[in-house]
Chains A and B, each alone.
Chain A
């Protein structure tokens, strides 16, 4: 049975000391050199086998010879057949050792992000080239993109044996940021009634364009959903978001909440769409810390996490961002939960939930002590998150959604990005979601047997599917954390420190959009926590 695995690369985060980095690089070069020695030895043994075969052939003449009469001539030979076979075997053995050393060198390089700068440079160059093409010749760029996508679909579908258009995302993943950026320049050009010029500010105009489009779509959205946001605390009849003491556990809780509220899994909680979780942790010194778990777009007709809200919270305008229904819903949930201004807060979100987390961190920095933001599959590169807030972003290279910011994430000490790449693999662990709803990626044996080159995606479809699902981000994080990267470890440790201690309470808040204020239909344990408001009043 076939499944999928994810290989991660790491960029940004706490840098290594120069001496340490040089030591890793030096060892990687040494491994490459020794691997080259073994490959050369392999080639030499292979050539030796051929030469010995030539020697053997030439000796055929000799062994068949009849010495001249009266002349005593001695002959000598070797067991050429055995020799040639042994030389061939040695060639294979040497090649195997060379390959193994190459693999180990690649593992060392990836674990310590030794090629990070080069990879970033190439990616930047490609993005700039595509952007320029999209500005100068949009028709040809669109045509080329269509052709590349179509070729990817045809090739992938042929390999899979059935039509699968997701391969179009994979084949164009290298161009997605540049295309988004190019399209944004055109949108901004229309907005300003001027020729499109490349905007070289931080957002390359993508956030500008998102704000412009949101201003257009907001009235439509309000007409459809209404602009009254009701945020109510709701009771869960089963545990969905459990106690967490690590990023991996928090990601798993995020997936549980996301899938439970959509009905993909049934934990019996009765939670529905538009729900977020707020947890209070009590540190050993008695102080409180908070973890906010925010799932992504649910697309429901009266949910603050509908599709068009994504545009608002990607805007370059902080007022527009915070009037986004999903952002103000989470802000209201945080207010109702009673989070203190100085109490450490960590936010974890998937897709739109990650954008909301970045928005809260950027725009409510004066109200809360936002210490860490975890995003999975969220385009947040353009959000002005304070440098004191740690950001850990997980993105899949062909999920498209994470590329909608049109830019790579900032690569700073406090901003770490884990980028996953999915490939097909044999399945070695069970893919089903277990009875407690857990769906942690792979397992220890699976990871070790793969040499940590990739992490199996548990529960992945046999066919190619969109990698925006959280299980792919979970696998990406697992692979990255297995690498023992200093940067990943530092972010993991920072996240853990915030939620250190014991879980004191978990509250769930549901947001509902309407045209007029709703009577509360959801019972909460404390009616004071039920709130209805128009955020912009």
Chain B
């Protein structure tokens, strides 16, 4: 769409970044509150604190923890999923150099997956201050 330069006033743009943000509805509700400066937040909203006097940062921190927790669960599932090909890789009738390498590296993948899963857990611990 071409915008013709004009001095004629036009309809104001609707600046709703929350609607366009990557956060889900719950997060949008968090950002729907105002900034701590008491001015309009870039995320919209008009109030700094909740009606119960708590800061919205609690919601953000909770959201961060939930986010990490979800990723940890996803990683755990992926780590568990690797066990099936590993056992089937051991069982298939395949011999030779490449077969040995295949099984060794698949086993190593399973070990690496457990390590990644463990590291993911430590990230979650970090979220909870452990």
Contacts and interface: CB of A to CB of B under 8 A. Distances in A.
B46 interface: no
A51 B119 contact: no
Given A51-B67, A97-B109, A41 B99 contact: no
Contact of A484 (B31, B53, B97): B97
B35 to A, nearest CB: 4
Contact of B75 (A41, A67, A83): A41
Contacts of A34: 78, 81-82, 84-85
Contact of B53 (A63, A71, A86): A71
B99 A484 contact: yes
B57 A101 contact: no
Contacts of A489: 96
Nearest to A58: B60
A100 interface: yes
Question: Chain B's interface: helix, strand, loop or mixed, by majority?
Answer: helix
A78 B60 CA distance: 10
B55 A75 contact: yes
A48 B112 contact: no
A483 interface: yes
B109 A65 contact: no
Interface string A407-444: 00000000000000000000000000000000000001
A45 to B, nearest CB: 6
Interface in B78-121: 78, 81-82, 84-85, 88-89, 92-99, 101-102, 105-106, 108-109, 112-113, 115-116, 119-120
Given A83-B68, A104-B109, A44 B49 contact: no
A50 B64 CA distance: 11
A496 B102 CA distance: 27
A339 to B, nearest CB: 34
A67 B22 CA distance: 29
A35 to B, nearest CB: 9
Interface in A79-123: 79-80, 82-83, 86-87, 89-90, 93-94, 96-97, 100-101, 103-104, 107-108, 111-112
Nearest to A29: B85
Size category of the binding interface on chain A: 35 or more
B39 to A, nearest CB: 10
Contacts of A87: 68, 71, 123
A89 B126 contact: no
Contacts of B22: 47, 50-51, 54
A77 B53 contact: no
Contacts of B115: 93
B126 A83 contact: yes
A14 to B, nearest CB: 14
A58 B85 CA distance: 43
Contact of A482 (B53, B97, B106): B97
Nearest to B50: A73
Given A61-B35, A62-B57, A73-B54, A27 B88 contact: yes
Nearest to A483: B98
Nearest to B106: A104
B106 to A, nearest CB: 6
A93 B68 CA distance: 16
A111 B127 contact: no
Interface residues of B, number: 59
B55 A90 contact: no
A31 interface: yes
Nearest to B48: A65
Interface string A281-292: 000000000000
Nearest to A87: B123
Contact of B81 (A37, A52, A58, A73): A37
Given A41-B71, A62-B36, A62-B55, A55 B60 contact: yes
B67 A48 contact: yes
Interface in B29-71: 31, 35-37, 41, 43, 48-49, 53-58, 60-61, 63-65, 67-68, 71
Contacts of B58: 74-76
Given A24-B92, A58-B60, A59-B57, A73 B82 contact: no
Counting chain B CB atoms within 10 Å of each CB, the highest count among A34, A71, A89, A448 belongs to A34
Counting chain A CB atoms within 10 Å of each CB, the highest count among B35, B65, B85, B109 belongs to B85
A447 B97 CA distance: 9
A37 B97 contact: no
A264 interface: no
Nearest to B22: A51
Given A90-B71, A90-B116, 15 more contacts: A37-B77, A51-B23, A51-B67, A59-B57, A62-B36, A64-B36, A66-B36, A72-B53, A73-B54, A77-B61, A86-B122, A87-B71, A104-B109, A107-B98, A111-B99
Interface of A: 20, 23-24, 26-27, 30-31, 33-34, 37-38, 40-41, 44-45, 47-48, 50-52, 54-55, 58-59, 61-68, 71-80, 82-83, 86-87, 89-90, 93-94, 96-97, 100-101, 103-104, 107-108, 111-112, 444, 447-448, 451-452, 481-484, 489
14 contacts: A41-B71, A58-B31, A58-B43, A61-B37, A73-B49, A76-B61, A83-B68, A83-B127, A86-B119, A86-B122, A86-B123, A108-B94, A451-B101, A452-B101
